[in-house]
Amino acid sequence: MLKTLGFAIICLLLFGRCAQQVSPTGGKKDSIPPNLIQSIPLNKTLNFKENRVELFFDEYVVVDNITQKLVITPEADNPYSYRLNGTSIVLNFKKQFQDSTTYTLNFGDAIKDFAERNPAKNLKLVFSTGSSLDSGRVYGMVKDVQTNKPLFDALVGLYNPTDTLNPAKQKPFYFSRTDSSGVFSIENVQTRNYTMIAIDDKNRNMLFNAKDERIGFLSKPISAGVDSVSYNILMALSDNTPLKVQRTLPKVNNYTVVFSKPIEKVKVTFMNKDSLPYMIENGEQIKFFNVQPHSDTTLVKLSVTDSLETSTEFDQKIAFQAPRGKERQKDQFTISSRPENNRPLANSFSYRLIFNKPVQTIEDSKIELITDSLTHETLKNFKSTWNETHNELTIEGKSFAKDTIKWEIPKGSVISVEGDTLARTLIKHPVLNEEDFGILRGKVIGADTSKLYKHFIIELMDDQYKVIDRQYSSPYNFIHIPQGKYFLRLILDLNDNKRWDTGQVNKGIQPEPIIYLPEKTLIKSNFELNDINITLPKAP
């Protein structure tokens, strides 16, 4: 009996030591965020002269990156430390706050409950160091100008209106962030004039990064009052940073100049007797080709136009690498098409052949368009035009095919500037069946009488806002539309450059206005939708 009892005690001790203590399982997950039950000072306290702030909650809390997430407006140059005491948090500021000023401490999601990390919602503390609270308020909505959709978590800031204002270097005096409906509200601000700017602020540093952040602004200063009006801000990408040569890529066969942002066009002036073929590649670089004979170093002047139609000039030295082997290895000569291979093509078509090198010669009498394997017609019989750098050929034509259209490009019929040729190439397209597609027609009301909005662009977009087709006159007529839902918008092309311009905040230039039909348009197969009209706005 004693042996049995002793063995049981030993087992209990062993298993007791080895057992792992865990929290009880089961039950509902805690989804309730911590609630603020008291604060020092109380919300909307007047004549606050201390440099210590304390918050008390109804449960244990933790702090998550508070130095980044706590935002104090107006911005206070007043460093602080914090201490977590279970259910309370203490902020100790280095110095007292500026006199006669209303401050707002917005904690974002910096404070969370201990168990499930649920963030406290709308946690904000307002107090004044003077005898009254600032009562100014500014509110409104932020949308993307190209999609007309509300933007979530955009930073809307109020800045002191000055001629030297630069949101890339200056933080706003007051600010707020938009909710999921694109709505913002900035409260307890001084009742005076401000410049209002909205930015994406992806890295949450409260500064504008022109490379990858959208921006929107109001052209005139606004007045923040007690009964402020609602403001609408439209945001768009607008990279107004100076165009620079980012790097160069010298090789034996070519020399590439890479720019800091996309470019639209380039004019190359050779400074000596040399002349080299070149082309724009990937929309951000210029590639020069090593075609003999030429000097060891070729000097060129580049006049480059970026997406904001700003031209910049560069003096550039083109120096190819010296060949190391017996024979230079060339990049393969390739071709692509628009529409792409195997995409449907209408009998009346505008077609592009795109080469990865400038073309030196093309024998258009050998390149054939074959329709239904019966009719052969040479490229020579079609109207075609080259782009300036001779690497894109646009073809206008018509066929009478019922099933397929096929381009046959024999080997040797296209020679690049490097002297190499394409392999035998076949590019095939099924013929569009008219019954599988819909038609959308309409007009721009006021186009004949408007003196201000003489030029416009009508764009048809799919439900992902990808542009399917565009036209530049009224009435418009979109054909060969696959069945589905589409958006229709009108761009007011104020400078008649056949493109939408994003605007420039540093010059006070707003993006070109865009008018949307409010709802998606359903296009059905073998169906015509007529009289879908867009009305021009009245001149301001």
pLDDT tens-digit readout, 380-427: 999 999 999 999 999 998 888 888 889 999 999 999 999 999 999 999
Dig out the tokens for 3 from the structure: 């042996």
3-state secondary structure of 69: helix
Distance, in Å, from the CA atom of 59 to the CA atom of 45, rounded to the nearest integer, reads 24
Bridge partners for 361 per DSSP: 415
Find the range with the poorest average confidence among 307-311, 440-444, 453-457: 307-311
Beta 528-529 vs 437-442: how paired, if at all? parallel
Bridge partners for 415 per DSSP: 361, 421
**Chain segment 20-74, per-residue pLDDT in tens:** 434 445 556 667 899 999 999 999 999 999 999 999 999 999 999 898 888 888 8
Dig out the tokens for 342 from the structure: 């195997």
Place of tokens 């380039």: 266
CATH number of the 436-535 domain: 2.60.40
Q: Which amino acid is at 122?
A: N
Return the ∠ at Cα 274 (arms to 268 and 275), rounded to 5°.
45
Beta 359-362 vs 414-416: how paired, if at all? antiparallel
pLDDT, mean of residues 138-165: 92
3-state secondary structure of 73: strand
pLDDT > 50? residue 12: no
Bridge partners for 217 per DSSP: 197
The pLDDT of residue 206 = 86
Q: Which fold has domain 245-318?
A: Immunoglobulin-like (2.60.40)
Bridge partners for 89 per DSSP: 55, 84
Distance, in Å, from the CA atom of 196 to the CA atom of 157, rounded to the nearest integer, reads 6
Name which residue leads in pLDDT, 31 or 331. 331
pLDDT, mean of residues 146-166: 91
Name which residue leads in pLDDT, 226 or 99. 99
Dig out the tokens for 236 from the structure: 């768009």
How does residue 310 score in pLDDT terms, banded at 50, 70 and 90?
A: confident
Distance, in Å, from the CA atom of 200 to the CA atom of 178, rounded to the nearest integer, reads 10
pLDDT > 70? residue 374: yes
CB 481 within 8 A of CB 448: no
In percent, the amount of the chain with pLDDT more than 70 equals 93
Name which residue leads in pLDDT, 357 or 375. 357
pLDDT > 80? residue 189: yes
**Chain segment 480-502, per-residue pLDDT in tens:** 898 999 999 999 999 999 999 98
CB 47 within 8 A of CB 84: no
3-state secondary structure of 510: coil
pLDDT, mean of residues 450-472: 92
**H or E element: which one contains 303?**
strand 298-306
3-state secondary structure of 82: strand
The pLDDT of residue 30 = 67
The pLDDT of residue 273 = 79
3-state secondary structure of 10: helix
pLDDT > 60? residue 16: no
What ranges make up the beta strands (E) of 64-173?
A: 71-73, 80-85, 88-93, 102-106, 111-113, 124-128, 136-144, 155-159
Place of tokens 């500026």: 98
CATH number of the 335-432 domain: 2.60.40.1220
The pLDDT of residue 18 = 42
Place of tokens 């019922």: 402
Distance, in Å, from the CA atom of 125 to the CA atom of 54, rounded to the nearest integer, reads 10
If one counts every other C-beta atom within 10 angstroms of the C-beta of residue 422, the result is 19
The pTM score is: 0.77
DSSP of 234-272:
EEEE---SPP-EEEEEE-SSEEEEEESS-EEEEEEEESS
In percent, the amount of the chain with pLDDT more than 90 equals 62
Q: Which fold has domain 136-237?
A: Immunoglobulin-like (2.60.40)
Q: Domain spanning 36-128: which CATH class is it, in words?
A: mainly beta
Dig out the tokens for 27 from the structure: 């039950």
The pLDDT of residue 352 = 95
Domain with CATH 2.60.40.10 in the chain: 136-237
pLDDT > 60? residue 15: no
3-state secondary structure of 68: helix
The pLDDT of residue 3 = 45
Domain with CATH 2.60.40.1220 in the chain: 36-128, 245-318, 335-432
Distance, in Å, from the CA atom of 419 to the CA atom of 530, rounded to the nearest integer, reads 52
Across the beta sheet with 88-93, the strand order is 36-40, 52-57, 88-93, 80-85
Torsion of CA 92, 98, 99, 105, to 10 degrees: -60
The pLDDT of residue 303 = 96
Tell me the CA distances in angstroms from 88 to 58, 64, 78, 111, 155, one per residue in order.
Answer: 9, 14, 21, 10, 29
The pLDDT of residue 27 = 53
The pLDDT of residue 227 = 67
